[in-house]
Amino acid sequence: MNKAADHSGISSARSEAFAQRLHKRYAAERRFKALGLSAVLFSVAVLIFLLGTMLWNGVGGFQRVEVAVPVDLAAAGMAVDPTVLEQQNALPNLETQGLPQVVEAAAERVLGADAGEAIDPQAWRVVAEEIIANPQLARSSHVFYLPASPELAAGYEGEGSPEMRALAARLTTRGVLSKTFDVGFLSRSDATSAQHAGVWGALKGSFYTMIVTLLLAFPIGVLAAVYLEEYAPRNRWTDIIEVSINNLAAVPSIIFGLLGLAVFLTIFPNLRSAPLIGGMTLALMTMPVIVISGRNAIKAVPPSIRDGALAIGASPVQVVFHHVLPLALPGILTGTIIGMARALGETAPLLMIGMRAFISAPPDGFTAPASVLPVQIFLWSDEVDRGFVERTSAAIVVLLLFLLAMNGLAIYLRNRFEKKW
């Protein structure tokens, strides 16, 4: 290189070429750092975009297009007996009494002859349920907010047939048609029409499934972690157990679905799509997660605790169950909650064991056919109706809120109870 520079000391080391090289190297340094930052920012941007899209669409899913229709049952000549309303079969009774016709006639007075197409055919149920909840409403005229038909709802959004769009515009200017917050989304179950669909059935199914998963995976996982960390002799069997737990943690979830299909559904063929089978399948998937996090939590308890307890005469079982396990519990619980959150969002194995049927009634037990929230999202995502697109996003928002709550709880537990030794 430059021979003169070599002999003339430091000042001349800052030659033109040196400065240029240094400049280049610093530029490369800045570029590299910017690259790293942009990689991080990209991930964050995708996350924000993803959540934003779901929220944006989901807001529409929590609402529905409703028509304000005054219904006067007394004037329509329909006498409603309050004692009938208290009975179990009040709804079918009202139907045979002619409530659907009364509601349709009332709707026709407001909407003209188009009422049949503008009001959802099941709209009378809304009236019936409100009357059952409050029999006073049957005595005088009361304005009910009835769900619009899917076609009219599409018209309100500026889609669908031109007639419906025109009708929607007319009704909106009259102040009869509006999009309002739909509390029922959280209390209804799956339906063929997006106007009637809700997530309660799926939430209940998820709840039952998670109970089964927790009851199976938590005790088995914690006990296995205790055994492997505290008592297991170093031999071939222990190695096999450890290897299989590590492998299970990495097996794709759909394989667990195949196991559930081939084993659990062969043993219990009548329990297709029951939360019990779903919970058992997810428990096998969650158990390794709990074992691994449980072992780490138990490992973190310092040996001095064990030595102290042993020294004052506790037996090995007492040492673990009286001292080590209570101290490791916050860590174990954190891992359990994270594993449960993963199970709550899991879809594929449940599709395998038949939890994909259309189920319009919330399950009333562990053996009743049920759906779960992620599967409900998957099923709705297949619907082409615009209303279902919004409902799907709204269901996703509900699911994400639950996951956020669970993860928040895990972080809280970790920060609040975890000891640094």
In terms of CB distance, is 195 or 281 closer to another protein?
A: 281
Which residue has 């009259």 as its token pair?
A: 174
**Could you tell me which residues are beta bridge partners of residue 144?**
69
- Does residue number 245 form part of the binding site for another protein (CB under 8 A)? yes
Is 199 strand, coil or helix? Answer: coil
Q: How many CB atoms lie within 10 A of CB 392?
A: 24
Distance between CA atoms of residues 125 and 146, nearest Å: 9
In terms of CB distance, is 176 or 251 closer to another protein?
A: 251
Distance between CA atoms of residues 199 and 185, nearest Å: 6
Smallest distance from the beta carbon of 4 to another protein, in angstroms?
A: 22
**Stretch 312-331 residues interacting with another protein (CB under 8 A):** 315-317, 321
Question: Where does 78-199 have alpha helices with state H?
Answer: 82-85, 90-96, 99-111, 115-118, 123-133, 150-156, 162-174
In terms of CB distance, is 33 or 139 closer to another protein?
A: 33
Smallest distance from the beta carbon of 339 to another protein, in angstroms?
A: 12
Q: Taking the C-alpha atoms of 214, 218, 219 and 223 in order, what is their torsion angle to the nearest 10 degrees?
A: 170
Distance between CA atoms of residues 91 and 96, nearest Å: 9
Q: How many CB atoms lie within 10 A of CB 195?
A: 24
4-12, 107-115, 254-262, 323-331 -> range binding another protein (CB under 8 A): 254-262
Options 2, 87, 89, 246; binder of another protein; rule CB under 8 A: 246
Do 66 and 176 contact (CB within 8 A), yes or no? Answer: no
**Stretch 12-71 residues interacting with another protein (CB under 8 A):** 25-26, 28-29, 31-33, 35-40, 42-44, 46-47, 50, 53-54
Smallest distance from the beta carbon of 69 to another protein, in angstroms?
A: 32
In terms of CB distance, is 35 or 311 closer to another protein?
A: 35
Options 74, 87, 174, 231; binder of another protein; rule CB under 8 A: 231
Options 102, 126, 138, 226; binder of another protein; rule CB under 8 A: 226
Distance between CA atoms of residues 30 and 27, nearest Å: 5
Smallest distance from the beta carbon of 393 to another protein, in angstroms?
A: 8
**Stretch 273-312 residues interacting with another protein (CB under 8 A):** 284, 287-288, 291
Please state at what angle helix 325-344 crosses helix 275-299, rounded to 10 degrees: 140
In terms of CB distance, is 166 or 240 closer to another protein?
A: 240
Options 119, 164, 171, 228; binder of another protein; rule CB under 8 A: 228
Burial per residue of 260-271, b for 16 or more beta-carbon CB atoms within 10 angstroms, e otherwise: bbeebbeeeeeb
In terms of CB distance, is 68 or 329 closer to another protein?
A: 329
Options 59, 366, 385, 409; binder of another protein; rule CB under 8 A: 366
In this structure, the strands spanning 177-181 and 63-71 are: antiparallel
104-112, 253-261, 300-308, 329-337 -> range binding another protein (CB under 8 A): 253-261
Is 280 strand, coil or helix? Answer: helix
Options 250, 311, 312, 384; binder of another protein; rule CB under 8 A: 250
Options 263, 326, 417, 418; binder of another protein; rule CB under 8 A: 263
**Stretch 172-191 residues interacting with another protein (CB under 8 A):** none
# residues contacting another protein (CB under 8 A): 88
In terms of CB distance, is 330 or 374 closer to another protein?
A: 374
In terms of CB distance, is 231 or 412 closer to another protein?
A: 231
Length of the chain: 421
In terms of CB distance, is 111 or 333 closer to another protein?
A: 333
Do 357 and 273 contact (CB within 8 A), yes or no? Answer: yes
Nearest to 280 by CA among 216, 349, 199: 216
Q: What sign does the CA torsion over 272, 275, 276, 278 have?
A: positive
Which pair of tokens denotes residue 101? 């016709």
**Stretch 391-420 residues interacting with another protein (CB under 8 A):** 392-393, 396, 399-400, 403, 407
Which residue has 């064991």 as its token pair?
A: 353
85-93, 132-140, 326-334, 345-353 -> range binding another protein (CB under 8 A): 345-353
Quote the DSSP letter at residue 317. H
96-104, 115-123, 136-144, 244-252 -> range binding another protein (CB under 8 A): 244-252
